[in-house]
Amino acid sequence: MLEFSSGATQYESCLKIGKKAKTYVLDTNVLLQDSHCLCKFDDNNLVILIETLEDLDAIKMEQPSERGRDARRVHRMLRELLPDSRAMLEGAVLDSGGTLSVVIKKCLQSTAKVPARIASLGSILNFEKKDNRIIATALFVQENFPPPAIMVTKDINMQLKARAVGLEAEDYLNDKTTEEPDDQSYRRIPVSKHDPQRFASEGEFELSEEFAKNLVLNEYVLLVADEGKTMRARLYSERTLCKRLIPSMLKAPGGIPIRLRNLE
């Protein structure tokens, strides 16, 4: 556990230092969103603040809840990565080649002498709020860790506040997949300019054997006319297409119904 104070603990840090190395300060919501995120920052330095551990400790008591399970999972991972006081003092080397450290900023305690930069932030940020204490501690990470420090959080407001005080901040994007454009996900079948209109009125469309042989039952396709007009359809028999099924609403048992606002 790295302590930034006038009487800081002496330690032999395992931090990576180099032109390409970065230090990522992880917010609680990132750890809860993806409990395996510690393995997804390549060979960079990862920092977890003591306030984040306090958040996890409170959330893990939520039973039964998904957040509570996620918090307990993260706690188990941290216990394995940081098994003793030496690991907490020096940090841990991760399988990805990066490092993991836990940081506490003693100067935020009411009895401690507050450095000038933190004192100036006190007129802007209320340190009674945990998010603001996290931002202040992240700024000290920026000053004390050799590589540039980046705050990673799912909280948009926290990102904005961090940038406002000179701390680089970004969203955690590793939990998102790149969505293929809707039309690009369909197999495209060329038709004449009159076929879409006939299909719309009759509700069915017969495919030639050439196009039908590569399709599977219930597969969605995109009919593309010569002039560029398109229509989506579903294969419901060996060679016959029907209109795409769009439910008027979705509802889980005991849940609130979700209704479509438009056909897209």
Domain match, 82 and 12 both: yes
Residue 8 has pLDDT above 50, yes or no: no
CATH number at residue 192: 2.40.240.20
Give the whole-angstrom CA distance, residue 24 versus residue 15.
Answer: 12
CB atoms within 10 A of CB 33: 14
CB atoms within 10 A of CB 160: 10
Average pLDDT over every residue of 60-73: 86
Q: For the ranges 149-153, 158-162, 168-172, 253-257, which has the lowest average pLDDT? A: 253-257
Contacts of 253 (CB under 8 A, 6+ apart): none
Closest-CA residue to 198 (of 245, 233, 228, 238) = 233
- Overall number of domains in the chain: 2
Residue 89 has pLDDT above 90, yes or no: no
Domain match, 29 and 82 both: yes
Domain match, 19 and 67 both: yes
Domain match, 67 and 122 both: yes
Percentage of residues in the chain having pLDDT higher than 70:
75
Domain match, 40 and 149 both: yes
Domain match, 100 and 202 both: no
Residue 147 has pLDDT above 90, yes or no: no
Phi, psi of 45 (to 5 degrees): -90, 130
Domain match, 133 and 25 both: yes
Average pLDDT over every residue of 34-40: 88
Domain match, 139 and 197 both: no
Does residue 253 sit within a domain? Answer: no
CATH number at residue 67: 3.40.50.1010
* Domain carrying residue 145: 2-170
Give the whole-angstrom CA distance, residue 148 versus residue 45.
Answer: 10
Q: Tens of pLDDT along 52-62? A: 998 999 998 88
Domain match, 161 and 209 both: no
Give the whole-angstrom CA distance, residue 213 versus residue 79.
Answer: 55
Tell which of 143, 170, 197 closes a domain.
Answer: 170
Does residue 176 sit within a domain? Answer: no
Q: Which residue has the higher pLDDT, 62 or 125?
A: 62
Does residue 16 sit within a domain? Answer: yes
Does residue 6 sit within a domain? Answer: yes
Q: Which residues pair with 26 in a beta bridge?
A: 48, 152
pTM for this model (two decimals): 0.60
Q: Tens of pLDDT along 95-112? A: 888 889 888 765 444 444
CB atoms within 10 A of CB 225: 16
Does residue 55 sit within a domain? Answer: yes
Residue 173: the pLDDT is: 83
Residue 238: the pLDDT is: 86
Does residue 258 sit within a domain? Answer: no
Helix (H) / strand (E) element for 56: namely helix 50-59
Does residue 23 sit within a domain? Answer: yes
Helix (H) / strand (E) element for 144: namely helix 130-144
Domain match, 207 and 165 both: no
Average pLDDT over every residue of 77-83: 90
Domain match, 7 and 78 both: yes
Q: For the ranges 154-158, 181-185, 207-211, 236-240, which has the lowest average pLDDT? A: 181-185
Residue 196: the pLDDT is: 83
Domain match, 116 and 79 both: yes
Contact 90/11 with Cβ under 8 angstroms?
Answer: yes
Read off the pLDDT band of 18 (50, 70, 90).
Answer: low
Give first-to-last CA distance, the chain, whole Å. 51
Q: For the ranges 41-55, 124-138, 144-158, 238-252, which has the lowest average pLDDT? A: 238-252
Q: Tens of pLDDT along 161-216? A: 889 888 899 999 875 545 555 555 678 889 988 888 888 888 888 898 888 888 88
Does residue 250 sit within a domain? Answer: no
Q: Tens of pLDDT along 131-144? A: 888 888 888 888 77
Q: For the ranges 62-71, 83-92, 125-134, 175-184, which has the lowest average pLDDT? A: 175-184
Helix (H) / strand (E) element for 163: namely helix 156-164
Contact 234/241 with Cβ under 8 angstroms?
Answer: yes
DSSP string over 93-135? E-TTS-EEEEEE-GGGSTTSPPPHHHHHHHTTS-TTSHHHHHH
Measured CA to CA in angstroms, residue 66 lies from 33, 48, 62, 93, 185 at distances of: 10, 21, 8, 29, 32
**With 0-12 CB in 10 A as exposed, 13-18 as middle and 19+ as buried, what is 173?**
exposed
Mean pLDDT, the chain, as a whole number?
79
